[in-house]
Each structure stands twice: as C-alpha cells, then as structure tokens.
Amino acid sequence: MTPAALRWSGDAAGSLELLDQTLLPGRVNWIACRNVPIVVEAIRSLRVRGAPAIGIAGGYGTVLAAAEATRLALSPATALAHVRARAAELASARPTAVNLRWAVARCLRALDALPAGAPAAALGTTLLGTAREIHAEDELLCAAIGRHGAAALPPGGVLTHCNTGGLATGGAGTALAAITTAWDQGRRFEVFADETRPLLQGARLTAWELVQGGIPVTVLCDGAAAALLASGRVGSCIVGADRIAANGDAANKIGTYGLALAAAAHGIPFFVAAPSSTFDLALATGAGIPIEERAADEVLAPLGVPAAPAGARAYNPAFDVTPARLIRGLITEHGLISPVTAAEIRKVLGP
C-alpha cells in the first residue's frame, strides 16, 4: 500500500495531518496542523516534501488560514485579507517547487466565485473543496504517470534519485510510480536508489517505500552512481522534478545533474517524471529557476551528527538543473514528451 504523505481531518474547521518525514524510517508520527505557521515550518523543514505534496499542503494551508479568520471573528473584508496574506506566506515557504505557488494561487482563484462580503466560514468551505480537488487530481495524475512511465522504461535495472513516491505526492508518486507500476505488471528488474545527500531522502524514504511494497532495493551512495552505470546493471534512470522550464530544463534534488551527465556518458536513457503542474512555461530555460540554498548544518552535521570540523563552511543548494539535452523523455500524465524540446512540450501540454 502506498504510504500517504498527508491527509485532511474534519470539515473546514478541521486540521491538516502531515506524516513527519524527518523521522522516517525509524518512527511514524503524524503532525496535526491547525494554523498556517505550523504548515510553513513543516514545508521549510521538509517534514512534508516533494513538489506535488507541498502543493497539496499549501492548498490545505489556505483552509487553515480561513479557519484562523473564523476563530478571530474577523469581518468579511478583513478575513479575505488575512487569507491572502497567509497564502503569500505559504507560497513562499520554498522557492524552487512551482507546484506550491500553483496550488495556492488556484485556491485563491476559487474565492473569486463567492459573493462580495462572504464570511470567513464560507471562504473555508470553498477553499477546502478546491484543496480536496487538487489532492484527488494528483492521485489520478500519479496513476497516469505510473502507466506512461512503466511503458517508457526499457529492460534492465532502474536507478532513481531522491524520493518520488507516495511520500512526495498525493498518490502513488511520479518516477517511483513508474517503477512500482512496472513491477505490479509483472516485470522484474533491479531497483537502485541513490542515498541522496545530504538528507538521505533516497535511503530513508525511497528505500522505505519500496520495502513497504515488497520490492527489493539496493541503496548506494551518490558518488557510486557513475560506477554502477558503468557496470551494465542499469538500463535506465528515472527521477522527478520540482520545476521544469518551457524548453525542458528540469530542476530536481541536488545530484540529479551529475547523474544525468554520467548516464549520458554511458549511453543510458535518463527520464524525468512530473505532472503538468510542475511545468513553468513562463520560464524559457532552467537558468531562470530559483535555487534554494539550505542550512549549512545539513552538510556539516547531517542528521545531527557532526561530520566536519568547526569553522568549515558548506555549499548546500537544495536543487540543480538538468539541461533538456540530457533528458531522453519527460513523463507526464498526458504521456511521454520526447524529444525534449519547447515545441514538443507545447504540443503535448497545450498552450
């Protein structure tokens, strides 16, 4: 069974429950979020992570903003202003993943259909309906991406980077859904997961999901990927994305670019799986994608364990950008985009 990253409990006055991914695989703990600051902190600290999942969390976060306004007994105009201000906080919680801004903006647009002077409770009901739509749609998108991805994967072992399963989405995942769907169809192959430094999302989360699903997985440190590709045991690489530019350049967890370079050097196809909401067609190329710089301690003291001497500095970008020329295909809910060009992306996704 695919593990859930998040769920909503109750009506518009309820709470968002997040599976704290910083504690996995050792401990399964759910966090009840009843206000926006808790959600913002959870997104920034990677308690909830993965572009689709944080988009869904952002959508539910707007519901919490309306609930805050209801508890404060704010006037309709002040309640709307409060929701919009909280929405801005949510949208900026992490700068690289476009799904977060997209989902929050979609929830706010839903309020335009309400009559002027709608009370805070009405705002919450509308926002909850929209957030649930986004959540349900993502589950369907993941299933479609899984089917298209499974069909695209050639024979041989599969290597993935970071985490792109149910923990990162509202459904079965993106890149990991392709792997699990192919496995469920009866195909058998070796599955390899990069550790994914510095927070080990591959080792802690991807491997945990695969083990939960009964799929054997081999974990390797990021620096061993090139040697593994040279061994002939890998037939393809597949990863997710947090933002994809109009030309197909894709931002994903740091280390993805190096993996794509190594795959190209060995003639191994490299795929990126993501829903259409991850595309930012307003950006011509990946050069315009903002790259989040995270705390130095994630490198100098990973998982709280000192690994470098006092006084050392850290270079810790959360993401890198893989050029479209290194990507064999983009796998979306609409199908495979290949070759990866701006024209082909427009053809498959539409305007």
**CA gap 263, 278 in Å, rounded:** 23
Give the pLDDT score at 2. 66
Residue 205 has pLDDT above 90, yes or no: yes
- Domain ranges across the chain: 6-140, 145-349
Compute the average pLDDT of residues 168-189: 97
Non-local CB neighbours of 83 within 8 Å, separated by 6+ positions: 62, 65, 66, 69, 108, 111, 120, 123, 127
Could you report the per-residue pLDDT of 268-301, keeping only the tens digit for each? 999 999 999 999 999 999 999 999 999 999 999 9
The one catalytic residue among 222, 242, 249, 320: 242
How high is the pLDDT of residue 1? 59
CATH 1.20.120.420 for the 6-140 domain, yes or no:
yes
Distance CA 69, CA 83 (A): 8
Q: What share of the chain is helix, strand, coil (3-state, %, to 5)?
A: 45, 15, 40
Q: Report CA torsion sign: 252, 57, 45, 206.
A: negative
| pLDDT higher than threshold 90 for residue 3 | no
Contact predicate 14/70, CB 8 Å: no
| pTM greater than 0.85 | yes
225-234: per-residue pLDDT in tens?
999 999 999 9
| 222 is annotated as an active-site residue | no
351 or 242: which leads in pLDDT: 242
- Asked whether the domain spanning 145-349 has the same topology as the one spanning 6-140, the reply is no
pLDDT digits (tens, 9 = 90+) for 71-122: 999 999 999 999 999 999 999 999 988 999 999 999 999 999 999 999 999 9
The tokens of 276 are what? 């259409």
What share of the chain in percent tops pLDDT 90? 97
Residue type, 62: T
Say whether pLDDT at 67 is over 80: yes
Residue 204 has pLDDT above 90, yes or no: yes
Structure tokens at 201: 């999302």
Helices (H), 221-312: 225-230, 256-265, 297-300
Residue 34 has pLDDT above 90, yes or no: yes
pLDDT score of 303: 85
Average pLDDT over residues 27-35: 96
pLDDT of 97: 82
Superfamily of structural domain 145-349: Translation initiation factor eif-2b; domain 2 (3.40.50.10470)
